[in-house]
Amino acid sequence: MKPLLEINNAVKTIYNDNQDLNILDGINLKIYPKDFIVVLGTNGAGKSTLLDAITGANKLSSGDIKLNDEDITHKNLAKRSHYISRVYQDPKLGTSPRMTVAENLLLAKRRGLPRRLRLRKLNDNMEKFKELTKDLPTLDNRLNTFTENLSGGQRQTLSFLMAIIQRPELLLLDEHTAALDPQTSQELMELTNKVILEKELTCLMVTHNLTEAIKYGNRLIVLKKGKVILDLDKDQKAALKEQDLLEYF
């Protein structure tokens, strides 16, 4: 099977304290269709920098990234957004506060499409949006609510729906449940897993939660000082205990 995304010798160097520091240090990674990869690592391990490199938010110092055999290393964030979606840790980053839930979903539905003046046709999409949110107690009957009036959990659920509404080729989750209370975090994580499996999405999920790292996904990657030091498949991961993972931190 050919990889969906291939990262070759990825290096990201910054100048810090009068010396060059490699945030990413020669990372090689292949992500295959339907992979649900969980990424673990301490602060400063390079997790978010890796996601930045994939989305184009932060360019590599050297190395290349290929999506479906196409070199996207020098494509900007806007062009990559047609294929790659990302949900951030901060619920405020993925949504527009002065727009309603429905308006945010419509905006996401048009992500990556040419921008031009035209009628929104919001009403034409309302039935689809109702269907999308009908089984979500946090968002059903709130399509006309301004996003700034939602709770953090509601807003993060909306961010997740916006990220998957176009069925991206690659979904990136950057500690997307970390800022939520335990109950809301668990509910969103269960929704995330359900959607990824049902839609057969390809996903890279960063987390600090060892329980989530073992429970979810078919691969587990551990980053340390900008390097991949562990890459386990589903069977290897199933044999792990949380104590085993602590040895890498």
Least confident of 52-61, 178-187, 194-203: 178-187
pLDDT for position 115: 54
pLDDT for position 120: 63
For residues 104 and 143, is the Cβ–Cβ distance under 8 A?
no
Question: Degrees (nearest 5) of the Cα angle 115, 119, 125?
Answer: 100
- What percentage of the chain exceeds 70 in pLDDT? 96
- CA 209 from chain center: how many Å? 15
Residue of 35, 165, 22, 162 lying closest to 91 (CA atoms): 162
- Using one digit for the tens of pLDDT, what is the confidence trace for 105-130? 998 887 755 555 444 678 888 888 99
How is residue 146 annotated by DSSP? B
Average pLDDT over the chain reads: 90
What's the whole-model pTM score? 0.91
Of all helices (H) and strands (E), which one includes residue 122? helix 122-133
Helix axis angle, 152-164 to 101-109, nearest 10°: 20
Domain ranges of the chain: 33-59+76-114+121-246
pLDDT for position 119: 46
| Residues in contact with 133: Cβ distance below 8 Å, sequence separation at least 6, in sequence order | 101, 139, 140, 142, 143, 161
How is residue 220 annotated by DSSP? E
* Three-state SS annotation for 31-48: ECCCCEEEEEECCCCCHH
Q: Can you tell me which residue has the tokens 């839609």?
A: 199
177 CB burial (10 A radius; 0-12, 13-18, 19+): buried
pLDDT for position 117: 42
Multiple choice CATH, 33-59+76-114+121-246, 3.40.50.300, 3.30.930.10, 2.70.98.10, 3.40.50.620: 3.40.50.300
| Residues in contact with 73: Cβ distance below 8 Å, sequence separation at least 6, in sequence order | 60, 63, 64, 65, 66
Tokens describing residue 106: 């419509």
The winner for highest mean pLDDT among 81-95, 113-127, 128-142 is 81-95
Q: How many CB atoms lie within 10 A of CB 226?
A: 23
109 CB burial (10 A radius; 0-12, 13-18, 19+): middle
Q: How many residues does the chain have?
A: 249
Q: Does 204 or 20 have the greater pLDDT score?
A: 204
